[in-house]
Amino acid sequence: MQVIYRGRGEGKSTDILKQSADTGIYILCANQQAAQSLARQASDLGLHIPYPVTVEDYRRTHGFRGSFIQHVLIDDADLVLQEVFNSVFIEGISLTRSE
């Protein structure tokens, strides 16, 4: 798992979009507004990506069960987690680096 950690407006989403364009992996984002924004940004950059999926898409398909989605890239993981946990503010997270 790759972690992109930078400040607001420093290219995190652009990097995720490029990775999606290179691999064909779907991007998971918090909501439909974020999905539309990512799709528009990809188009502006001339990148071809699968249309981003949302937390609601994940819930509606019971964890993508029966879906062809086997891998995801997550844009704005903090916002995705807040959406998953019904807007509970996430104070901190830990990640295990895979090598």
pLDDT digits (tens, 9 = 90+) for 7-46: 788 788 999 999 999 999 999 999 999 999 999 999 999 9
User: First and final CA of the chain: distance in angstroms?
Assistant: 8
Q: Which amino acid is at 84?
A: V
Give me the residue spans of the domains in the chain.
12-84
Residue recorded with tokens 């990097």? 15
| pTM greater than 0.95 (yes/no) | no
Bridge partners, 74 (sequence order): 28
* 36 secondary structure, DSSP code: H
Distance from C-alpha of 54 to C-alpha of 74, rounded to nearest angstrom: 10
Would you place residue 55 in the very low, low, confident or very high pLDDT band (cuts 50, 70, 90)? Answer: very high
